[in-house]
Amino acid sequence: MTVVGKSVWFALWAAVAVAAAGFEMDREARHDASLAARVPAPFRGFALEVLARGALARGDSAAGVQLAREMVSRRPIPAEGLAMMAQGELAAGREQPALAAVMVAAERGWRDSFTQAIVVQLAVQGGDWDIAGQRLLALWRKGEQSDELRALSGAVLSRQEGLTAFTAQLRAEAGWSNALLLWSASALDAHKVGVLAGTLRKNGAQLDCPSLSASASDSIRFGRGAAVEALWLQACGRRRAGASASGLGNLVFTSNDESAAGPFDWHYLPGPGVEQAIEAGAGGPVLRFSNSEPIRQPIARRFAMLPPGARRVSATGDAVKSSMSRGPALEVTCFDGQGAAHTLGKFDLTPEGASFSLPAGCASQWLTIDAGMGAGTIDRVRID
Q: In this predicted model, what pLDDT tens digit does every residue of 325-383 receive, in sequence order?
A: 578 999 999 999 898 999 999 999 999 999 999 999 999 999 999 999 999 999 989 99
Across 136-155, average pLDDT: 91
DSSP state for residue 41 in the 8-state scheme: G
Per-residue pLDDT, 45? 56
Mean pLDDT over the full length of the chain: 81
- Residue 258 binned pLDDT confidence (cut-offs 50, 70, 90): confident
**Is residue 214 a contact partner of residue 331, using CB atoms and an 8 Å limit?**
no
**Which pTM does this prediction carry?**
0.74
- Residue 313 binned pLDDT confidence (cut-offs 50, 70, 90): very high
331: closest CA among 373, 375, 280, 367?
367
Per-residue pLDDT, 16? 40
- Cα separation of 184 and 191, whole Å? 11
82: closest CA among 63, 60, 95, 98?
98
- Residue 25 binned pLDDT confidence (cut-offs 50, 70, 90): low
Per-residue pLDDT, 40? 65
With both helix axes pointing from N to C terminus, report the angle between 46-57 and 3-28 in degrees, rounded to the nearest 10: 40
DSSP helix/strand/coil, 45: coil
**Is residue 96 a contact partner of residue 115, using CB atoms and an 8 Å limit?**
no
Across 172-180, average pLDDT: 94
Half-sphere CA count of 360, side-chain side, radius 13 A: 0
